[in-house]
Amino acid sequence: MAGLLKTTDLVGLAVCKTPYERLKIFPVKAEPDVKNLGEQLQGGQIEKVILQAEKELRLTRKLVQWKPWDPLVKEPPANQWKWPV
């Protein structure tokens, strides 16, 4: 069939045409085959690996803003973690 497009088989996730530019980590430079690269990264399809890496990068940027390592502004209520309340 003419005109078939390669898909990732994942709804809403397009095939990445430039995975080597999107992922800048050591295994990417060492493995020329995209399919083998996805298997080496244990993420399956490289598009899933890219999506996960982008989400982790966004989270780390948010964590820098949120500063979860700083002390609390005020002490939590004594029964905050008790169940049932």
Q: How far apart are CA 42 and CA 31, in angstroms?
A: 14
The verdict on residue 84 lying in a domain is: no
Q: What pLDDT is attached to residue 31?
A: 72
Q: What is the pLDDT along the chain (85 residues), one digit of tens a residue?
A: 344 456 567 777 788 887 777 776 656 667 777 777 767 777 667 788 788 888 999 999 999 999 999 998 999 888 888 887 5
The verdict on residue 39 lying in a domain is: yes
**Which residue bears the tokens 């080597």?**
20
The verdict on residue 1 lying in a domain is: no
Q: How far apart are CA 20 and CA 53, in angstroms?
A: 13
Q: What pLDDT is attached to residue 43?
A: 63
The verdict on residue 72 lying in a domain is: no
> In this structure, what is the dihedral angle of CA atoms 68, 71, 74, 76, given to the nearest 10 degrees?
70
Q: In the chain, how many domains are there?
A: 1
The verdict on residue 46 lying in a domain is: yes
Q: Which domain holds residue 49?
A: 19-66
Q: What is the pTM of this model?
A: 0.56
The verdict on residue 4 lying in a domain is: no
